[in-house]
Amino acid sequence: MQRSQTILQRTLSTPVILIAILAIVALAALIVGTGPFNQTVIEIFIRIVLVVGLYVFIGNSGVISFGHIGFTCLGAYMTAWLTILPAMKKSKLKGLPDIILNAKLHYGWGLLAATIFAGLCAYIIGKVLMRLSGIAASIATFAVLAVIIQVYSNWDSVTGAQSSVVGIPIVRTVWPYFACAVLVVIVAYSYSISRSGLALRSARDEAIAASASGVDITRERLIAFVISGAMMGLGGALYAHSVGVVTPDTFYLNLTFICLSMLVVGGMNSLSGAVLGVVILSSIIQLLRWFEKGVDFGGSIVALPLGVQEIAIGVVMIVILMFRPSGLTRNKELSWPHWPFKQLPAGRSRAPTG
């Protein structure tokens, strides 16, 4: 038996379709052209970076992580430290090393540094955590999140503690966010069809058999953890440049809940699920935001109470878990010509069973 196409040729339609979806979203911002809509689209791209980052680890390893938003915090503060005016840092963040205190870099370097820094931290933390499995690993990741947030909430001279760090250069055009979203989709896709991605997914299905097949599970998990941690750091840096201000509280349970919900709703084991989960839930969130602000129905203003967004996300997630636990995509990938979905967990088709 000889396959006529390589893994890349067989599966390339997935990232192409996903990037096309992202391009349509970006073009929508261009066509509509209003500030609020522009900001909504930017938020979607940031969430795509974060949720795809989560997918790289959770989707491929099967280990639920509650701690990845910690890396988002690390990335956000790293770019803040490097891109804020030195004069502002000297008044509020005196404890920073001189080299950082005097730096004033372009935001592009901030994004790069945030990505590398978060990836490096993920490597150090992962060296310890990746020896754990199952619920123990999940709880440990949550502990990591709590530790990071506590450090950043109390290290006054370096992070400003719980007060906001302001003066981060704001980037209002959607294109850098679009480019980063495209980049993480390509990296996540490349990882999923790589030998490391295949090995990790086999360990997700059957850890003992994977080990018997020569797979070093700890090593493969660590690789995914570092890649996803770096992506989360990039997402944090993008967030910082989208609003111009960061506080540790932003990167805690609320954001963790929203990102995990988007992944669960889309389909945890699917890159397409990560992207579609963001697009669909972000649309619902945006709709509810408008209703929270009040909508004019023939002269009378109808407004939903604050907090409805979170309640709605929770309800959607419960409904999905009850009736479609493998997510809207059923853990399959968008593909062509097998439109709309095809199983691509290992970089090729999943034939019908039975």
Q: Which two tokens stand for residue 55?
A: 């997918």
Q: Does 90 sit near another protein (CB under 8 A)?
A: no
CB nearer another protein, residue 187 or residue 193:
193
Q: For another protein, which stretch binds (CB under 8 A), given 87-95, 277-285, 308-316, 341-349?
A: 341-349
CB contact at 8 A, 89 and 205 = no
Q: Does 131 sit near another protein (CB under 8 A)?
A: no
Q: Does 350 sit near another protein (CB under 8 A)?
A: yes
CA distances from 4 to 9, 15, 165, 338, 341 (A): 10, 21, 55, 17, 22
Q: For another protein, which stretch binds (CB under 8 A), given 79-87, 170-178, 232-240, 343-351?
A: 343-351
CB nearer another protein, residue 216 or residue 307:
216
Q: For another protein, which stretch binds (CB under 8 A), given 3-11, 157-165, 227-235, 308-316?
A: 3-11
CA dist., res. 132 & res. 139, Å (int): 10
The 3-class SS string of 52-63 reads HHHHHHHHHHCC
CB nearer another protein, residue 38 or residue 211:
211
Q: Contact with another protein (CB under 8 A): which of 1, 31, 87, 301?
A: 1
Beta carbon of residue 61, minimum distance to another protein (angstroms, whole number):
13
Q: Does 306 sit near another protein (CB under 8 A)?
A: no
Q: Contact with another protein (CB under 8 A): which of 7, 166, 245, 312?
A: 7
* CB contact set of 323 (below 8 Å; sequence gap of 6+): none
CA dist., res. 270 & res. 155, Å (int): 38
Over the range 271-305, which residues count as b (16 or more CB within 10 Å of their CB) and which as e?
bbbbbbbbbebbeebbebeebeeeeeeeeeeeebe
Beta carbon of residue 344, minimum distance to another protein (angstroms, whole number):
10
CA dist., res. 349 & res. 339, Å (int): 12
CB contact at 8 A, 330 and 254 = no
Burial environment of residue 163 by CB neighbours within 10 A (0 to 12, 13 to 18, 19 or more): exposed
Interface map 198-227 toward another protein (x if CB under 8 A) = xx-xx-xxx-xxxxxxxxxx----------
Which amino acid, one-letter code, is at 320? I
Beta carbon of residue 201, minimum distance to another protein (angstroms, whole number):
7
Pair type for strands 245-246 and 333-334 = unpaired
Burial environment of residue 12 by CB neighbours within 10 A (0 to 12, 13 to 18, 19 or more): middle
CB nearer another protein, residue 149 or residue 271:
271
Q: Does 349 sit near another protein (CB under 8 A)?
A: yes
Q: For another protein, which stretch binds (CB under 8 A), given 47-55, 108-116, 190-198, 334-342?
A: 190-198
Burial environment of residue 244 by CB neighbours within 10 A (0 to 12, 13 to 18, 19 or more): middle
CB contact at 8 A, 75 and 118 = yes
Beta carbon of residue 185, minimum distance to another protein (angstroms, whole number):
20
Q: Contact with another protein (CB under 8 A): which of 38, 39, 194, 286?
A: 194
CB nearer another protein, residue 216 or residue 318:
216
Q: Does 351 sit near another protein (CB under 8 A)?
A: yes
Q: For another protein, which stretch binds (CB under 8 A), given 27-35, 93-101, 191-199, 221-229?
A: 191-199
Interface map 253-292 toward another protein (x if CB under 8 A) = ----------------x-----------------------
Residue 99's CB is within 10 A of a number of other CB atoms, namely 7
Residues in region 23-62 near another protein by CB under 8 A: none
* CB contact set of 311 (below 8 Å; sequence gap of 6+): none
Q: Does 241 sit near another protein (CB under 8 A)?
A: no
Which residues of the chain form contacts with another protein (CB under 8 A)?
1-3, 6-7, 193-196, 198-199, 201-202, 204-206, 208-217, 269, 331, 343, 345-354
